[in-house]
């Protein structure tokens, strides 16, 4: 029996983990350092939504012609929008230039300067058939039969078993890590369970900006470091400072954004930052790279990678390997 095309699907998520022990029960994919996108294709047109259900089609016009590549099929696809650096590695920093644009002229210009590729890794619905209840291997087989390989879209492969080898290969190539997916797993929208696992070479996490402290020297009147945290229930916990990873352009942009969110009281519960702190409404989410968490859940050696607008601040929690 045919089913209607689903709308506004919240993607399934992976849980931070070490490599699974039952290696042969998993398929392994490269973890792309981009932004998630669910693509809805029907009647020769493509609509792209972020993981928080915002339509972002206009930001990535080069992906639109993938609708023609589907040759009359109607489909709902899951994938990642990725920008690459000069060495061919995924670059979240480069993608920043595309993520926050709205003007059509600026988007067209940056589409030429910083092109993106939609990496398709799952098929959720096809021509009236709902596939979310089918095993991962069967969804992948149906996806690969569509042969989606084009100038701005690809269907990267996966490997059954031997996750350690793919993880090591990703480390040698300077990639973020891999994703392990149970071969028999169904697609569960919005869920972060044990069927999908992300195994990282570098430590990365989304964190909420709750304030900032002024810098020193030439940054005395500008942001010296961001004050970031994560939620435990409805309480925002301070997790430390992020003082590197900014260029002058980004410091100016952050300065404008934080000035418009200024508040007199701390948004953090419990442990507090230094007295020089300036606080803001905690609704901005930053991607942060770091070396480790301390025993008190504080960041060590952190670096700013960019802002995200595809996740609510209240959904940002501490991630540690299971």
| Residue-level pLDDT at 195 | 96
- Positions in the chain short of pLDDT 50: none
For 145-213, give the DSSP string: HT---BTTEE----EES-HHHHHHHHHHTT--EEEEEETTPPP-TT---SSEEEEESSEEEEEEEEEEE
Task: Determine the pLDDT at residue 218.
Answer: 64
Q: Are residues 67 and 119 in the same domain?
A: yes
182 plus 258 within the same structural domain: no
**140 and 88 in a common domain:** yes
* Residue appearing with tokens 């404008």: 256
C-alpha to C-alpha distance for 289 and 299, rounded to whole angstroms: 9
67 inside domain: yes
Q: Are residues 253 and 163 part of one domain?
A: no
Q: Which two tokens stand for residue 56?
A: 């972002």
Burial 234-250 (b: 16+ CB within 10 A, else e): eebbbbbbbbebbeeeb
In this structure, are 94 and 160 located in the same domain? yes
What CATH number does the domain containing 148 carry?
3.30.470.30
Q: Name which of 317, 236, 322, 241 is nearest 276 in CA terms.
A: 241
pLDDT at position 220 is 66
Predicted TM-score (pTM) of the model is: 0.86
Q: Which is catalytic among the residues 31, 198, 200, 241?
A: 31
| pLDDT score, position 2 | 87
Q: Are residues 43 and 162 in the same domain?
A: yes
**31 is a catalytic site residue:** yes
The pLDDT, as a whole number, for residue 304 is 96
Q: How many structural domains are present in the chain?
A: 2
- Residue-wise pLDDT for 94-115, tens only, equals 898 788 766 677 777 877 888 9
pLDDT at residue 109, rounded to an integer? 80
Last residue of a domain, one of 200, 219, 241: 200
pLDDT value at position 51? 94
3 state SS of 3: coil
Residue range(s) defining the domain that contains residue 75: 15-200
């Amino acid at each position: 029996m045919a089913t209607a095309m689903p709308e506004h699907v919240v993607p399934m998520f992976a849980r931070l983990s070490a490599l699974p022990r039952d290696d042969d029960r998993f398929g392994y994919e490269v973890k792309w350092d981009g932004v998630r996108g669910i693509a809805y294709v029907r009647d020769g047109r493509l609509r792209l939504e972020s993981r928080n259900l915002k339509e972002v089609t206009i930001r990535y016009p080069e992906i639109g012609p993938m609708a023609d590549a589907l040759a009359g099929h109607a489909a709902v696809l899951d994938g990642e929008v990725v920008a690459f650096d000069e060495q061919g590695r995924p670059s979240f920093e480069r993608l920043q230039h595309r993520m926050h644009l709205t003007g059509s002229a600026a988007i067209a210009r940056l589409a030429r300067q910083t092109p993106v590729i939609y990496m398709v890794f799952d098929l959720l619905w096809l021509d009236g058939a709902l596939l979310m209840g089918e095993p991962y291997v069967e969804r992948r087989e149906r996806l690969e039969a569509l042969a989606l390989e084009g100038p701005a879209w690809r269907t990267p492969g996966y490997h059954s078993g031997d996750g350690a080898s793919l993880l090591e290969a990703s480390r040698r190539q300077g990639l973020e890590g891999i994703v392990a997916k149970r071969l028999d797993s169904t697609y569960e929208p919005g869920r972060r369970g044990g069927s999908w696992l992300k195994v990282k070479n570098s430590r990365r996490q989304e964190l909420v900006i709750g304030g900032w402290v002024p810098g020193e020297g030439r940054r005395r009147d500008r942001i010296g470091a961001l004050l970031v945290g994560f939620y435990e229930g409805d309480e925002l916990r301070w997790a430390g400072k992020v003082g590197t990873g900014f260029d002058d352009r980004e410091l100016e942009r952050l300065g404008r954004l934080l000035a418009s969110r200024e508040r007199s009281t701390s948004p953090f519960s419990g442990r507090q930052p230094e007295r020089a702190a300036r606080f803001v409404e905690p609704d901005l989410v930053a991607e942060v790279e770091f070396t480790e968490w301390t025993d008190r859940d504080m960041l060590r050696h952190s670096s700013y990678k960019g802002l995200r607008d595809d996740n609510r601040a209240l959904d940002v929690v501490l991630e540690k390997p299971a």
